[in-house]
Structure formats: C-alpha cells, structure tokens
Chains A and B, each alone.
Chain A
C-alpha cells in the first residue's frame, strides 16, 4: 500500500472509531432506553473542548493568543478520561431540564434550542473558548515516541480502536445484563416500568450521563487527532447524522449501529469525494446534506427498524441466544422510540 493510501485508510479508521463510540453512546440513550437526545452533539463537543484544553497547558503558553478556561498538561490517556468526566458533569443539569418530563417532540425542540444556544455562547464567549476562532495547536498524544508521521498515523488508529473497545465493553455490558432489559422496558412503557418498581427518572438520568461521558471520550479522541476545535463544527446538524446512522444501521443493537456508522458518516463522506466538481466548490457538501435528509426519510418510511433490526432475545437453559429477527409490530408506532 502506498503511503498516500495508508494515510487515507488510517484517517478512515480513526473516524470510524470516533464515530462508533459516539453512535453506540447515542444508541444506548435512544435506541435502548428511548431518550430523545437531540442535543447529543453538545457532549461530544464539550469532550473535544476538554480534550484540547487538558493538553494545551495554560493559556499563556504558545504566546498566549488563545483564551480558554481550565488547562493542564494531562498525560495520555488521562486527558481523554477527564474529558469524558467533564462531559458527564455537563450532562447533569441538561438532563434534568431536557429529559424527564417533556413529551417526545417537545423534548427534541428544547434540546435543539439548547444545542444552538451552546454554539452561540461558544462563539460569543471569547474568554472561555476563544470565540469563533476556536482552539488550535492541540498536541498529538505520544507523538514524541514515534519518528515517522505514517508510523504515528497507525499508532493513533490503534489508540482510537482501544477507546472504541472500551466503549464496546461498557455498552455491551449494560445492554446484555438485566440492566439492559430494564432500560428497554423504560423505552417500551415508562408507566409500566414505574409500576414494577423501576425508578425511571433516575435510570434515564444515569444513561444520559453515561452516554454523555462516552460522547465526551469520542470528542476528545477526535480533537487530539485533528489538532483543532471550533464551535462551528459542532452544529446541531451533526446530531442528525448520528441519528441517521442509527436509523439506517439498526436501532437498539450495536452491530446495527456499527453498520450505520460505516454507511452514513463514513461512506457518505467518502462518496462525495468522488462527485464531479459541479457548481461551486463545496456544493458537494450541500448536496451531501440533502442526500442525508432524503436517506433518513426513505428509511423512516420504508425500513424504520434499520438494516439490522434489534433481535429477539430468547433463553435456552439460562444463556441468552439471539435467534430470529424481530418482526415489525403494526400496533405500536412505526420505527423509533415509543412514546406518548
């Protein structure tokens, strides 16, 4: 493989890992528990910001042209871990406001407004996040140990895959255990779950925070790869991409989510590389969004469960075996979470 090809492949792999962590987190919140987190991007963004700030050191470094709060030289991997924790902390007040008592679509709108607000605030608060210019010169972790940038590229692939593995372990552990069953029960019927002793508000809150932490990790891994962070890259539309990945790939299961990531953020982005250069430069980006919107609508109409739907869980002698696929139930709402 030529160097150029290798760089291309490593970039795809890193992006895949970053996106899969985020999508597994969102699927845990949305596909499994039924939390309509339309503000998801906020947490990935906060994690990215923290991941940057925790490695940039103090403000005065680098000539002091960037303004931000917090600031440390945390060694790897603690900068990423800390970023996850920060995102989790931010999730607490937002979760209290957004997820508990509002009906599904109203929740979506509130979260959307919050997401836009977050970007507005970031743009205006020059002292907190360096305003629209964002942060740059984020150091690459562990780069000092490697001599060639190609070698480092593969090293970073390995690093991001490790984080993806961690996310896999967490999400899989939760969904396979009886805990996962309780979360799905909450998705199906909060009133019935309450009547059986499940503290719905508390459990939703916990999933929200844990999902946010994973999103934060995803953001940190991403920012340490890119080297920069700017408020405009974290628009509410990014959340939409993740939702599309889940709807297309398959809700409520990790394999479906992985397929969704491979198809939507990755393949889509790469596909547009090969579009002929019509119109103005960047037109392919606009068309990309149009196509994502159309893709979402097509799937929501024709195949709302996604390409790999959630599988039926059966018990054979105490072990859980997934056998047949779940048929679509006509009586409940088509597709996504069931709510009132």
Chain B
C-alpha cells in the first residue's frame, strides 16, 4: 500500500477538480465494465410496512458508486439486506458472480463484501490498533487449538499483521492514535478508524453507510481523497451519503432511491437530466 503522490502535496481545490473530471469521465466510460454487485428485485417488510420494495441496481467493479435518496427511502435497509444483517423477503443479491442472498452477515463479509455503519460502530474499549487487527478476517491464533498451543504458534503472524496495521495508520495519518481507546476519538477520527478497519479485511468491495456523518469539512475532504485513492487501486466502493458535494466530486455513478425502490441510476450528468429524480430529490 504505497502513499498516493497527491497526499498532502497539492492544493485541495486542484485535487477536487481533478477528481470531478475523472469521476464523470470514468462514469461515462464505465457502462460496459464488469459488475461486482447485482441486486435484483430486493424486498423486505417490517410488520406489514415495506421498507424496501422491488429494488434493483448494479455496482460496477471500478470506481465509486453513490447511493442517495431522501430520508426514509430505504438506503440503510438496503445496505442491511445486501450485507446480510437482515433477511430479504424477496429478490436476490449476487456478489462477485456468486449468489449471496440469505447468507449471514459474517459469511458475506468473509466473501469480501465489508460494510461500515451509519452510527459509529467501533470497539470502544479496545485500542485503535486492536480495532484494526480485528478487521483481519482470519489469522493464526483465531482458533482454540492455536490459542492453547501457545504464543509461539501465533506470535509471528500477529507481529506481521501489526506491521501492516501500522502502515495503514501511517497512510491515513492516524499513527499517533495507535494506543488510544477507540471510544475516546472524535467523530471524524472514528470514521477513519472504521474505514481502516474495513480495509484490513482486504475486501473486494466496501459499502460505506454515511461515512461523512458528523465529520467536519476538512476531514470529509480527507476521507473523500482516501476513497478515491482506494478506488484507483481497484477497490469497488458503494457509498450512501447525503452530502451532494461529496457525491458529485467523488462518485462515478449514482443510484437514486425513493420510497423503498430504485428510481434511477447513472452518472450525475444523466441524473440531472432525469425528470423523476429532479422531482423526487434534486430540486
């Protein structure tokens, strides 16, 4: 994981303009590239009320896809359904060519689809470094056999992962928080830790639920920059967000939801021309 040449060296505006250009261009060119996530007619109801109904969309393997919609549109529910925390009543989800409908959350995470949460969901009474280490999906020392065999069995493997985690901390400029309890961090710092922790799982795709919530604009730009770097390195990312500025600058394609189903998908330019979307949301 090498540091991007853009990190901290260029003016923020330049970074943003370049990202904007690249995003839209990539978006338009992306119509034929491969899809990593296919959601088909997904539906789910709670006590007779449909939170999500007949929702279908795709996420491309490249670039950052945004998921927007007014409050109550069902965005968080759909994330829950895709990631396996909630069982869908109908429909299917395919990830990296495999049908993952109905699988449990931990099984889906192990297949490479990792999500973060809308409300900060860190391990509060563990240090930042420990949080990151938990992100690693499997390592020596995870099983009872390993644990009972003793330190020699897992110590080296753990040391290597500690080094990896520290590299990540340096990259995200959080290395001085290594031994801080995650519960003591500020909102923006917590978001960064969540992102890094998800990265430790070496996911094929990241789903971020409102990564900017409660984060100051400087930090938000920082996070946006990191996301673009990760996308450039080949990670597929789906971001749920309200911040339209962020969406416009960072996302290649956008999916719009309203009232439990998908209204439209495409680039921001296409969506701005879409009547329905304008009526429902963009006005």
A contacts, CB < 8 Å to B: 169-170, 173-174, 176-182, 184-185, 188-189, 191-200, 206, 210, 310, 312-315, 317-319, 323, 326-327, 329, 331-332, 338
**CB-based contact B83/A178 at 8 Å:** no
Having A195-B121, A313-B130, A315-B159, one finds 12 other A-B pairs with CB under 8 Å, namely A177-B147, A184-B130, A189-B121, A189-B122, A194-B85, A195-B85, A195-B114, A199-B106, A310-B125, A314-B129, A331-B124, A332-B183
Q: Are A178 and B142 in contact (CB under 8 A)?
A: yes
Inter-chain contacts of A326 with B (CB < 8 A)? 125, 181
CB neighbours of B6 from chain A (8 A): none
Q: Cβ of B158 < 8 Å from any Cβ of A?
A: yes
Is A312 within 8 A of B150, CB to CB?
no
Complex Cα–Cα for A178 and B106 (A)? 18
Distance, CA A184 to CA B125, complexed state (A) = 9
B: number of interface residues (CB 8 Å): 52
Determine if B98 is an interface residue (Cβ-Cβ < 8 Å).
no
Known contacts being A194-B106, A197-B106, is A174 close to B181, with CB within 8 Å? no
- Find chain A residues with CB under 8 A from B156 CB: 318
Q: Which residues of A contact B129 (CB under 8 A)?
A: 314-315
Q: Which of A179, A188, A317, A318 contacts B126 (CB 8 A)?
A: A188
- Interchain Cβ contacts under 8 Å between A and B, 12 examples: A176-B147, A182-B134, A184-B130, A188-B123, A188-B126, A194-B106, A196-B201, A312-B181, A313-B126, A313-B130, A319-B155, A332-B124
Contacts A313-B130, A326-B181; is A194 near B144 (CB within 8 Å)?
A: no
User: What residues of B have a CB within 8 angstroms of the CB of A206 in the complex?
Assistant: 144
Closest-CB distance, B116 to chain A (whole angstroms): 8
B133 touches A181 (CB 8 A): yes
Contacts A179-B141, A182-B142; A318 near B155 (Cβ below 8 A): yes
Contact assessment for B181 and A173 in the assembled complex, using a CB-CB cutoff below 8 Å? no
Residues of A within 8 A of B114 (CB): 195-196
Flag if A170 contacts B148 (CB, 8 Å).
Answer: yes
Residue of B nearest to A172 (CB): B147
Contact of A194 among B104, B116, B183 (CB under 8 A): B104
By the criterion CB–CB under 8 Å, are A196 and B135 in contact? yes
Per-position contact with A for B155-182: 1 when CB-CB < 8 Å, else 0?
1101100100000000000000011010
Q: Does B154 contact A (CB under 8 A)?
A: yes
List which B50-97 residues lie within 8 A (CB) of chain A: 83, 85
Which of A178, A189, A197 contacts B110 (CB under 8 A)?
A: A197
Bound-state Cα–Cα, A37 to B239, Å = 39
Taking CB atoms, residues of chain A closer than 8 Å to B127 are 312-314
Bound together, the chains give a CA A193 to CA B126 distance in angstroms of: 13
CB distance from A258 to the nearest CB of B (A): 20
- CB-CB under 8 A from B246, the residues of chain A are none
Residues on B with C-beta less than 8 A from A184 are 123, 125-126, 130
CB closest chain-A residue, reference B116: A195
Query: In the complex, A314→B198 CA distance in Å?
Result: 21
Question: For the complex, what is the distance from the CA of A199 to the CA of B106, rounded to whole Å?
Answer: 6
Residue B146, interface by CB 8 Å: yes
| B159 → chain A closest CB, angstroms | 3
Are B123 and A189 interface neighbours, CB within 8 A? yes
Beyond A170-B148, A178-B154, A318-B162, whether A192 also contacts B183 by CB under 8 A is: no
Nearest-Cβ distance from residue A168 to partner chain B, whole angstroms: 12
**Which residues from B are CB-within-8-Å of A314?**
127, 129, 178-179
User: B158 and A318: CB pair below 8 A?
Assistant: yes
In the assembled complex, the Cα of A170 lies from the Cα of B144 at a distance in Å of 9
Residues on A with C-beta less than 8 A from B144 are 174, 179, 206, 210
Among B105, B134, B139, the one with the most A-chain Cβ atoms within 10 Å of its Cβ is: B134
**Cross-chain contact B147 with A180 (CB below 8 angstroms):** yes
Interface presence of B17 (CB below 8 A): no
Partner of B147, one of A173, A189, A312: A173
Check B151 for interface membership: any CB of A closer than 8 A.
yes
Once bound together, how far apart are the Cα atoms of A23 and B127, in whole Å? 26
Q: How far is the CB of B98 from chain A (nearest CB, A)?
A: 16
A174 touching B109 by the CB < 8 A rule?
Answer: no
CA distance A65 to B117 in the complex (A): 63
Residues of A contacting B133 in the complex (Cβ-Cβ under 8 angstroms)? 178, 181
Task: Report Cα–Cα, A323/B179, bound state, in Å.
Answer: 10
Residue numbers in A under 8 Å from B141 (CB-CB): 177-179
- With a CB–CB cut-off of 8 A, which chain A residues contact B126? 181, 184-185, 188, 313
Give CA–CA (A189, B134) in the complex, Å.
Answer: 12
By the criterion CB–CB under 8 Å, are A192 and B148 in contact?
no
